[in-house]
Copies of this chain bind each other. A is one copy, B any other.
């Protein structure tokens, strides 16, 4: 069966697997833990669809998926993904924004942290050894197409331990990284 991507919404159909993260899964990731704990715990924060993982772990292979980050905030901090380094640090990734508005938050291994604005059509190269996280700053679902090496792996532990050096918050109605 031919796998397809809806270029209006980012949705994949065909040979696809889906995973999701809810508020209950994200203890410790947001600055305001009390605000997180007070939200309905089954609220979906983000969802990832992946083209079938046949290639996973294969050197030279590639994987493709769409990340969907839902609109919302925990306190003044935008809904976001956990974020990760690649386990194999020297591996890059491509993102392109399909719908919604948001930010790609990046951090190198020295803790330098910056963000790139995302809206439909922005194309983003995530260099090697740079951690990455998506945040939704808009009112609609942020959908982002992603392509990465099948043997990159994911190191979530470093981020769970130290976090990103900056957070994306709504300040006076605008996203601010600080």
Report which A residues bind B (CB closer than 8 A): 2-7, 12, 14, 51, 54-55, 58-62, 64, 88, 90-94, 96, 98, 116-117, 120-123, 125, 127-128, 145, 147-150
Asked whether A149 and B149 contact (CB < 8 A) given A55-B125, A64-B123, A128-B58, the answer is: yes
A121–B2 CA distance with the chains assembled, in angstroms? 10
List 24 A-B pairs, Cβ < 8 Å: A3-B122, A3-B123, A4-B122, A4-B123, A7-B7, A7-B96, A7-B98, A51-B123, A54-B125, A55-B92, A55-B125, A58-B92, A60-B88, A60-B91, A60-B92, A60-B149, A62-B92, A62-B147, A62-B148, A62-B149, A64-B94, A64-B125, A96-B145, A149-B149
- On whether the beta carbons of B122 and A2 are closer than 8 Å, the reply is yes
> A122 CB to closest chain B CB, in angstroms?
6
> A153 CB to closest chain B CB, in angstroms?
12
Q: Which residues in B have their C-beta under 8 angstroms from that of A3? A: 122-123
Q: Which residues in B have their C-beta under 8 angstroms from that of A117? A: 2
Q: Which residues in B have their C-beta under 8 angstroms from that of A120? A: 7
